Amino acid sequence: MKKISWGIIGCGDVTELKSGPAFNKVPNSQLVAVMRRDAGKAEDFARRHNVPRWYNDANRLIDDPEVTAIYIATPPSSHEAYTIAAINADKPVYVEKPMANTYTAALNMAETAAMKNNRLVVAHYRREQPRFKKIKQLIHDRAIGEILFAHIQLSKPSLTKEELADEKIAWRVDPAIAGGGQFHDLAPHQLDLMYYFFGPAQKATGIATHQSGNYAADDMVAGSMLFETGVAFSGTWCFNAAPSSEADICEIIGTQGKISFSVFSGNTITLLANNDTSTLTFETLQHVQQPMIEATVQYFLGEGPNPCTGHEGAEIMRLIESFTG
């Protein structure tokens, strides 16, 4: 059987544990090259992870004949250029979320892949994790009856001066690089799950502001959606909250009960159905992207569906911009 030979563009923090090692752990997959602009850091990553080759030039990695697929794990502002370069080199792409720093860029990526008849997957990896697949199954099985609405609350304390001085963190609240702030970094996971559970949105609107004034990006966002299925949604994201108010809550309300869970913490689902409450517990994954990478490898080999298409990733970017203006 053929094997996918991966090259990573941007071997930074996300690739250390969340994704990088998984490329050598899923069937019919191997990591053969990495790239980072800092040659010393690229070489260090390659040495520690037993990767045969490293580069400090993305084009050299894309042109490497031994690399048959590209994983793009750079900040969002460079996703469009690297994705299109890889697609034009006839190599399929797995790109990090948020898919790009704007909806226009994301749509261009998706349209280019379609025009070139190439394969593009967006790393909304929670779709393939057992906990969220179980929630989708519960919805499908009508475990809580007809779904009426869903609500998300994410509240986190403001970044400290020390965190804002750390370039590994500061870029995430620089709109020129990230497209926005922590909302753009975290909300794509949550909004994609809503899309995964309920399908396309018919309407979406919201407000955004920067209440703390600590940086240029918004730190308060509120949004609402109406899905084509009739399910309503509301969400609030505050990144300037008191530590005592920190929250990561999602509730899905139906005519016969409720499903409660967190997106970024914990490994449980609380199910209230017909006046009976139960808790479902799931194994903590060592590499959170491994199930998604496995599904992506199967898709690239022509043995499974696309786990998250470029147009779906672009739709999440459209929703983000609908909320933030």
Render pLDDT for 272-307 as a digit per residue (tens, 0 to 9): 998 899 999 999 999 999 999 999 999 999 999 999
CA angle 96, 97, 103 (to 5 degrees): 120
| Cα of 100 vs its chain's centroid, Å | 11
Number of Cβ atoms within 10 Å of the Cβ of 150? 24
Are 4-125+289-307 and 130-284 in the same CATH fold?
no
**d(C-alpha 98, C-alpha 314), whole Å:** 9
Distance between CA atoms of 54 and 19, rounded to whole angstroms? 17
For residue 1, the model assigns a pLDDT of: 56
Cα separation values, 194 from 191, 252, 272, 313, Å? 5, 10, 19, 13
Residue 280 confidence (pLDDT): 98
Q: Which CATH architecture has domain 4-125+289-307?
A: 3-Layer(aba) Sandwich (3.40)
Place of tokens 């609405």: 149
Q: Low-confidence residues of the chain, pLDDT below 50?
A: none
> Which token pair is 122?
């967006």
**What secondary structure does DSSP assign to 207-273, as a single string?**
EEE-SS-SSSS-SEEEEEEEETTS-EEEEEEESS--GGG-EEEEEEEETTEEEEE-SSS-SEEEEEE
DSSP string over 151-192: EEEEE-PPPPHHHHT-HHHHGGG-HHHHSSSHHHHHHHHHHH
> Which homologous superfamily does the CATH classification assign to the domain defined by 130-284?
Dihydrodipicolinate Reductase; domain 2 (3.30.360.10)
What's phi and psi for 206, nearest 5 deg? Answer: -175, -175
Position 274 scores a pLDDT of 86
DSSP character string of 117-128: T--EEE--GGGG
Q: What residue segments make up the domains of the chain, in order of their start?
A: 4-125+289-307, 130-284
Which residue is it, tokens 């010393």? Answer: 40
